[in-house]
Amino acid sequence: MIYQFIKKLDAKNKIGKRIISRLITEEKRIKLERYLKDGPRRKMIRQVSDAGTSHLEDILQICLQHISPVTAPLSLVSQISCSGGLLLGRLLDGHSKLHAYPHAFSVDAPDKSSWPTIDIKGKPEEWLNIFSKSIPATGIREGFKQGEEDNARFPFIYLPILERQLFIKYLESVQPLNMRQIFDAHMTACFGAWLNYQNHGLDKKFVTAYAPGLTLQNQDLNNFFEIYPDGRLISIIRDPVHWFASVSRREPQIYGDIESALGHWKKSVRGIMEAREKFGDRVCIIQFESLIDRTESV
């Protein structure tokens, strides 16, 4: 390809860089490099798909033969609703050094804000059932939606049957198991079963995910940092006046009463500050107003 030829020139004498900068904008160049990086896997899937009939088994085998392990540490975004978590998620999504989890990181538990409880002596099928609730069936059927107020939906081509096979195969490759490897198996299976995911690569620094309410659960935070000692917690604090104006419209049944709502807000902020005191620099606190006004520096 012409682009790849120019890249070779660039490696030799920087001529290619000047040519590329004239022909392709920086944003499109990054997208093109990302596309080429995942070229072999995409090419094989296209060859199977172009045969004129559906070859699900062939697609599954191709993906199973070319597994991209996702072992980067987890960076969770967690705070009370309407504090800017979705906005931050959009900013992180598509970053070349990050894997962005496609949905809120929730589990099959009575309290959806709970960190998953995994029995290391259990069976892979049991662990898979816990994790699988993070990818709702509605998202697969109806497509990906970035926010409640944004009605636009994007194709989300995800194969639960492939997720299961990738999960099992990864676990078989990392015996003996520890708890971190079980979570790595889930992340590997999640991004591997997401067929139209465009940001594959082995040089990721973090996997980012939104975990609502985690800052309110002390034991959950302990469990998270025990599994991910290299992980991060990012929490956004929003001015309570502006926060209440937003959340009372979005969730009036929970936050419609101002005194009750402010009680929830204070509890959330206390949880964030306690987490910062306990876990130090692994907890990053961002002011919502700074995220809006000084996005690049934040």
94-150 tens-digit pLDDT: 788 999 998 888 665 545 446 888 899 999 999 998 887 777 666 666 666 665 555
Q: Are 186 and 53 in contact (CB under 8 A)?
A: no
| Helix spans in 202-257 (H) | 218-227, 240-250, 252-255
Residue 246 lies in a domain: yes
pTM for the whole thing? Answer: 0.76
Half-sphere exposure of 286 (CA within 13 A, CB side): 24
Residue 108 lies in a domain: yes
* CATH number of the domain to which 83 belongs: 3.40.50
Residue 238 lies in a domain: yes
Residue 38 lies in a domain: no
Mean pLDDT for the chain overall: 80
DSSP 115: P
* pLDDT tops 90 at residue 233: yes
* pLDDT tops 70 at residue 161: yes
Q: Which has more pLDDT, 17 or 262?
A: 262
Residue 8 lies in a domain: no
Model confidence band, residue 5 (pLDDT cutoffs 50, 70, 90): very low
Question: Domain tally for the chain?
Answer: 1
Residue 43 lies in a domain: no
Residue 147 lies in a domain: yes
The range of the structural domain enclosing residue 241 comes to: 68-293
Residue 202 lies in a domain: yes
Q: What is the pLDDT of residue 255?
A: 93
How many of the other CB atoms lie within 10 Å of CB of 106?
Answer: 21
